[in-house]
Structure 1
Amino acid sequence: MTGRTCVEFAALLRRRGLVIGPEQTTAFYSALHLLERPGLREIYLAGRAVLVTQRNQYPVYDATFVEFFGPPAVDDHGLPPLPPPAVPTSIVEREADNSGTPSAKAADRVEEQADEARLVPSDLQVLKAKSFALMSPEERRKAAALIKRLSPELPRRRGRRREPAASGPHLDVRGLLRAALPTDGEPMRLPRRRVPSRERPLTLVIDVSGSMGPYALALLRFGHAMLHAGHHVEVFTAGVHLTRITESLRRSSVDAALRRIGTDVDDWDGGTLLGSSMRELIDRFGAHSAVRGALVVVCSDGLDRDDPETLGTAMRNLARRAHRVVWLNPLKGDPRYRPLARGMAAALPHVDVFLAGHNLVSFEEMCAALTARRTAA
């Protein structure tokens, strides 16, 4: 079986409501190549073992398999008969909580139970290492609580305007004159001014194509937590075009924020024109604090349908303006991954830190990369 067939089958399952990440598709392809001339029955079993993460997904998987490959061969000791090729609507609706587009019901359940999540150390380590795409709804609730607790101390930079201070290297001439008016021009003290340091802005650019759904949702929760912790945060989605969703995330409830984003972003779970989206970011916000001197995090698998030269040029311009560029690619969570896709290969030379971003451990690594001092100008 070719890799393209595996990708197309996984894409069909994803459209039917199953959450399937890039690493699962890769594992499915690898499993088939470990078998010698697999038949339909072996393909069925391999796919069910790798692509299905919950029992209630079996009816959807079985029906989709029959539609895509035909019924597998079975015997008296083999598999039970498969249902007709129809996707139960109730299953799809339930699995929508785990799909790419933000779901209001899922967000409500996450917010209501996030504070109740309690983990022993061993469970905590297992959860942190697990991919967002493979998590159950219960694990997603616990992961949401842990994401909310991430609080990196972002680096600071010198401000451009001086401000009054109790002490400082600069004399406040205007303040001196004002203070001397009640004393007939005799200054009683010498007011000072200083140049304050300000926290660098954080900008998130999130790929919302079909394969990026679980990872995009996790990073949106991180952006919401950072924004409501008082940090200067800008958030954009990149699909067919660029969409600024910062105002949607300002809602105090993450439920309301996700509902609003689901309405505002019209290309969620669609294709990816990452090069055009990044070029639009530079054209519209290149002189804005969202880019200039900011910490920019791009979350994408790099599977871009755009011209790779467009993405390479946009990333080069972004690297010139931003303080640091961090790229999160969930495919990097697989040790066998190599950034050979044309878009990823064009962008990588202009990235300061390249991380996986597929689980909580990589989110902690991202926070460490954002906090770290820059050693080169």
Structure 2
Amino acid sequence: MSAELESAEPLADPVEVTGRTCVEFAALLRRRGLAIGPEQTTALYSALHLLGRVGLRELYWAGRVVLANQREQYPIYTAAFAEFFGPPSQDDDGLPAPRAVPLTAQDRESDVPGTPSAQPAGPEDEQADEARIVPSDIQVLKTKSFAHMDADERRRAAALIRDLRPELPRRRGRRRRPAPSGPHLDVRGLLRSSLRTDGEPMRLPRRRVPFRERPLTLVIDVSGSMGPYALALLRFGHAMLHAGHRVEVFTAGVHLTRITESLRRASVDAALRRIGREVDDWDGGTLLGTSVRDLVDRFGRHAAVRGALVVMCSDGLDRDAPETLGTAMAELSRRAHRVLWLNPLKGDPRYRPLQRGMAAALPHVDVFLPGHNLVSFEAMCAALTRRRAA
């Protein structure tokens, strides 16, 4: 059927395609074993909208490009296409005749903005097209690996990273603070206020233990294979720090380097340039076990570790002995509130954490996520916001 579609002329009458058509066709492909998600369905709908007048040939190829991205899926897609749009007709050289799709008032082009239309758009529709909600490059950008982005895509990804605003969990503080109401009497405040009334207490000030946001600590592998992912997470750390959160940021290469003060610069580009001068082991080797052990030894009693949300970003390719990393991660897990590990290699469905360092660290990790694109960063934010199970 593919050869016939390739050599045939487009049909004179356009095929009427609505959002319902795309959803039903995607559902049929899922029943035939193809992994079709909402992103592919909306991408097909957007492609047909851009094509305008769509014949059967254009519809077939647009659907195959968007919905069947592997060679072994082509026969399944072709058979499902013929089943959905009807049996072949003798009048069009074996092309399957389009199946009439009943339209409701909600599906008609005149009622639903964004529906692929057979009529050319007039000047009065230009403003409506600009405001029309259709799938855009944002979803494609979110699923693209940081390592495969060009300069313009990295710029747009940086803007999306700045918009990530997870609500970090809170914990009870250690000291009582003056408050309008509370279970504890503020004795100092009582005595101080009584001096103005000749020792007679006129009111009873109160104190309570406030809740404080848990600190966030980022430990970023800056070895040669982690460059694009490290830069993206540094931008996230800069955004969180300047949004008022308690953030500590470290780089882990041949040794551990604290770069929190460098990230306090208002411009993220200026901060990254300063970090490039400050971190002398960027694009070097990785002694991850030594770096994590140094973090625990130097900051184990500091808010950067104790009770904090710790995010490790590394591919787990460590030159240290796996026992060093395993022991250090066990101690880090005991002191921190929660440990998340972002591994860009996990973005590949075929990945298995079989490296010795990764296998030694994984039992002490609460959440294991990929860290190769914006979708994985959104998953990280959701994991940071989530309450820890009791």
Q: Which amino acid aligns with 2:291?
A: S
1:211 corresponds to 2:225: yes
Q: Which amino acid aligns with 1:278?
A: V
- Structure 2 distance, partners of 1:206, 1:151, is 19
Q: Which amino acid aligns with 1:204?
A: L
Instruction: Report 1:255-266 matches (<5 A).
Output: 255-266=269-280
Structure 2 residue matching 1:246: 3-state secondary structure = coil
Structure 1 residue matching 2:261: 3-state secondary structure = helix
Structure 1 residue matching 2:191: 3-state secondary structure = helix
4+ residue runs over 2 A deviation:
119-122
Determine which structure has more spread, i.e. the larger CA radius of gyration: 2
Q: Which amino acid aligns with 1:164?
A: P
Match of 1:299 in 2: 313
Q: Which of the residues 137, 157, 162 maps onto 1:143?
A: 157
- Structure 1 distance, partners of 2:137, 2:330, is 41
- Structure 1 distance, partners of 2:150, 2:214, is 35
Match of 2:177 in 1: 163
Instruction: Report 1:125-274 matches (<5 A).
Output: 125-274=139-288
Match of 2:330 in 1: 316
Structure 1 residue matching 2:310: 3-state secondary structure = strand
- Structure 2 distance, partners of 1:329, 1:345, is 12
Q: Which amino acid aligns with 2:281?
A: D
Q: Percent identity?
A: 85
Structure 1 residue matching 2:234: 3-state secondary structure = helix
Give the RMSD, CA atoms, in angstroms.
1.0
Q: Which amino acid aligns with 1:365?
A: A
Q: Which of the residues 291, 294, 318 maps onto 1:277?
A: 291
Match of 1:374 in 2: 388
Match of 1:108 in 2: none
1:355 corresponds to 2:369: yes
Aligned length: 258
TM-score of the superposition, structure 1-length normalised?
Answer: 0.68
Q: Which of the residues 289, 295, 301 maps onto 2:303?
A: 289
Q: Which amino acid aligns with 1:258?
A: L
- Structure 2 distance, partners of 1:256, 1:338, is 37
Change (3 A) 1:265 1:120: farther
Q: Which amino acid aligns with 1:150?
A: L
What residue ranges of structure 2 are gaps of 5+ in the alignment? 1-132
Q: Which amino acid aligns with 2:164?
A: L
C-alpha distance after superposition, 1:251-288 (max 9, x if no partner): 11111101100000000001000000000001111111
Return the offset for 1:120. 6.5
TM-score of the superposition, structure 2-length normalised?
Answer: 0.65
Return the offset for 1:361. 0.3
Instruction: Report 1:89-128 matches (<5 A).
Output: 121-128=135-142
C-alpha distance after superposition, 1:14-61 (max 9, x if no partner): xxxxxxxxxxxxxxxxxxxxxxxxxxxxxxxxxxxxxxxxxxxxxxxx
Change (3 A) 1:120 1:289: farther
Match of 1:335 in 2: 349
Structure 1 residue matching 2:305: 3-state secondary structure = coil
Q: Which has the higher contact order (CA 8 A, sep 6+)?
A: 1
Return the offset for 1:323. 0.2
C-alpha distance after superposition, 1:65-97 (max 9, x if no partner): xxxxxxxxxxxxxxxxxxxxxxxxxxxxxxxxx
Match of 1:22 in 2: none
Return the offset for 1:185. 1.8
Structure 1 residue matching 2:283: 3-state secondary structure = coil
Match of 1:98 in 2: none
What residue ranges of structure 1 are gaps of 5+ in the alignment? 1-118
